[in-house]
A and B are shown apart, each in its own frame.
Chain A
Amino acid sequence: MVDAGSPPGAGPLLVIDGVTPQLGITLGRPGEAFLHRRAATSGSSAETLVPRIADMLAEAGVAPAALGGIACVRGPGSFTGIRVALATVLGLSRGCGVPMAGLDYLPLLAATAARQATGVVVAITYARTGQVYLQTFLADGEPLPMGPPVALTVAAAAVAVADAAAVGPLWLVGEGAQRSRDAFLAAASLATILGPETHDPAPEILLAAAARARYSHTPIEPLYLRPCDAEENLAAFAALRGLSPSEAEARVRDATSTLA
């Protein structure tokens, strides 16, 4: 059963963003003084994330149980980064009894861009293996999504960008836009590609989103957007095992929907 959730409590909000190697932690409430750290993880985020959270809570003099809510960016982005953040938040939430909420990454980037952009904002992040994660927004103040987030090849993303250019002044934000800027400018020559200072969501944007989010004790569902490589090649694996693709799909679906 899905818990629709409640607004956060009165205490400070903790927001964790581990979808890129630039691990972000924000602690505070919108419109008030806050703490924000964003720094590359040395090695694995699993080693640095919890000590950094502990340091920031200590610096602010906030006990975990006094938090108003624990928000976590749930993707899309690095699969491992998403999981480390979500597993940490699950443990932290269960440990101190404070509810949690998931935040989607691409609307946060679009909202960060919308502080300087009006028109159409396309958030494009790097997804490895020649792909990007992309979502298009209508931005006049608070960005409104024009469609769901998707994983696309750069070529398909360029087509989406060209389509978006027909709607209005076009702004591209995110590391994926920067990395493949030539392809996107070829598709939409008048697009503005925002710089690296907008590649991570601004702390004020993270806190505002966390304040609006609905909190519960239900574990946050990750937003991977892509199956893993083995799942994409399921038909080939099935053939090796003498199974039809539909039989293999049924077995995978069955095995990933039960807890026994």
Chain B
Amino acid sequence: MLCLGIETSCDETAVALCDDGRPVLEKLASQARLHAVFGGVVPELASREHLRCLGPLLDALFAESGLTLAAVDAVAVARGPGLLGSLLVGLAAAKGLCLGAGKPLIGVDHLHAHLMAATLGRAVAYPALGLLVSGGHTQIVRLDGPLAMTVLGRTIDDAAGEAFDKAAKSLNLPYPGGVYIDVLGRGIAPDRTLFPRPYLDNDHLNFSFSGLKTAVAAYVAAHPELRTPAMPDAVGPIDPEAWPMALRRVCASLNFAIAETLRVKLVRAMDGQPAPVASLLAAGGVAANGPIRAMLAEVAARRRVPLYLPEPVLCADNATMIAATGCLLGRAGLTHDLSLAPIPRGRKVPWDYQTAPPAAAGSVDSRSVPQ
């Protein structure tokens, strides 16, 4: 099954083709440099950029892949959770394509797709435990199959990525700041007592990062010399050696605090499952963070389970993950009609697929997500 994927959940405009789950080609336009000037994503600007970029990206995707829309079996689109105005652009274009070309529409849960990015091309053993960490989301989920996802814990306020981004903003580093914090902290011993590891003194799997965000902001306010005088333009590689050691230690300490917090809850989740966890997955932009990747590798090694991480390029928002998840859903005969609604951030994406005869034979687990 050849699936076209469209992703416009936040500030990346992306289109991709996947053939039976195998990535064919992706075309992506990032808006990070634009939003960096404002210190965070401006929703109206993001929506305008999605509309501006979508046509040229689609044209380039088909021109460079040598494929045509006629060869596409289904159009998959991120339907949320995300920024409503941004989602609407991708959703409207996807529906137009479906009506114009007579293709089925498959709305994809953006978070589900992030986790599926870690399974691409791999024979993942289930049940798997998944850690989803991005600028908008922090969740621990259990996957009993590729299409059977249960959320075990989530952030009650800010996402881990939000803590990184706001820390970077207080240091006057460009949005998205997680990359800067990661690179600047590399190779530096963290001060383990500098920042709290929040919300661990409980017995559940939820997260809270708002206190950590405030702690970093307060520390920077008390040490204003840490702030970069003029925000650098977010272009090209970052040379950590060019930055003050005090700033790099703050970055290393924040990386440590967040990685440790995630580790404690992840281990707790692994211990609390009815059946032994057979593999570990992680996804989302923050899963590209070096110390978090190292923590995950260590947990997986100790528990003797395989760890599946997406390639770094598939950690951030992308359309390959949407197209690949679309292939899984399409093969299971799961589609949407053209009245599909977007789901804004903070709301659960319903499992509301219509069942059509499976498009192709396959051993796909199509049990619905428990509501």
Contact = CB atoms under 8 A, between A and B. Distances in A.
A235 B155 CA distance: 34
Interface stretch (A50-58, A135-143, A171-179, A192-200): A50-58
Given A90-B54, A237-B38, A248-B37, A79 B44 contact: yes
Interface in A227-243: 228-231, 234, 237-238, 240-243
A256 interface: yes
A120 B352 CA distance: 53
Interface string A71-102: 00000000110011111111111111110000
Given A91-B100, A242-B229, A255-B33, A230 B92 contact: no
Given A64-B99, A91-B97, A242-B230, A251 B33 contact: yes
A87 B52 CA distance: 9
A59 B69 CA distance: 26
Interface string A202-225: 000000000000000001001010
Contact of B172 (A92, A219, A241, A248): A241
B52 A241 contact: no
B99 A259 contact: no
A93 B96 CA distance: 8
B35 to A, nearest CB: 8
A241 B96 contact: no
A60 to B, nearest CB: 14
A254 interface: yes
Given A84-B92, A87-B96, A259 B338 contact: no
Interface stretch (B83-91, B146-154, B247-255, B270-278): B83-91
Contacts of A252: 34, 37
B349 interface: no
Contact of A48 (B29, B54, B57, B339): B339
Contact of A229 (B34, B44, B48): B44
A243 B56 CA distance: 31
A51 B338 CA distance: 6
A90 B47 contact: no
Nearest to A255: B34
Interface in B104-136: none
B92 A259 contact: no
B88 A80 contact: yes
A87 B97 contact: no
B215 interface: no
Contact of A83 (B38, B47, B99): B47
A1 B313 CA distance: 31
Contacts of A163: none
Contacts of A256: 34, 45, 48-49, 52
B341 A43 contact: yes
A44 interface: yes
Given A94-B58, A230-B45, A243 B230 contact: yes
A87 B37 contact: no
Interface string A33-77: 000000000011011111101100000000011000000000000
Interface string B39-56: 100101101111111111
A228 B42 contact: yes
A interface, how many residues as a size bin?
35 or more
Interface in B226-247: 228-231, 233
A241 B69 CA distance: 44
A167 interface: no
Contact of B51 (A83, A98, A231, A251): A83
Given A44-B341, A95-B69, A243 B231 contact: yes
B99 A237 contact: no
Q: How large is the interface on B (under 10, 10 to 19, 20 to 34, 35 or more residues)?
A: 35 or more
Interface string B70-102: 000000000000000100111111111111110
B96 A89 contact: yes
B92 A88 contact: yes
B339 A51 contact: yes
B342 interface: yes
B47 A79 contact: yes
Contact of A44 (B39, B48, B88, B98): B88
A57 to B, nearest CB: 8
Interface in A93-126: 93-98
Contacts of A88: 92-93, 95-96
A60 B215 CA distance: 63
Interface in A132-171: none
B31 A255 contact: yes
A93 B37 contact: no
B305 interface: no
B37 A241 contact: yes
A85 B97 CA distance: 13
B217 interface: no
Given A219-B56, A228-B44, A238-B37, 14 more contacts: A44-B88, A50-B92, A83-B89, A83-B92, A87-B50, A93-B100, A219-B54, A228-B45, A237-B39, A241-B37, A241-B172, A242-B231, A255-B31, A260-B30
26 contacts: A49-B92, A49-B95, A50-B339, A80-B88, A83-B47, A83-B48, A84-B88, A84-B92, A86-B51, A89-B96, A90-B51, A91-B96, A94-B58, A95-B96, A95-B97, A95-B100, A98-B100, A222-B48, A230-B44, A230-B45, A234-B38, A241-B172, A241-B231, A242-B172, A242-B229, A251-B36
Closest 8 CB pairs of A and B: A95-B100, A91-B96, A228-B44, A96-B100, A219-B55, A255-B34, A87-B92, A95-B101
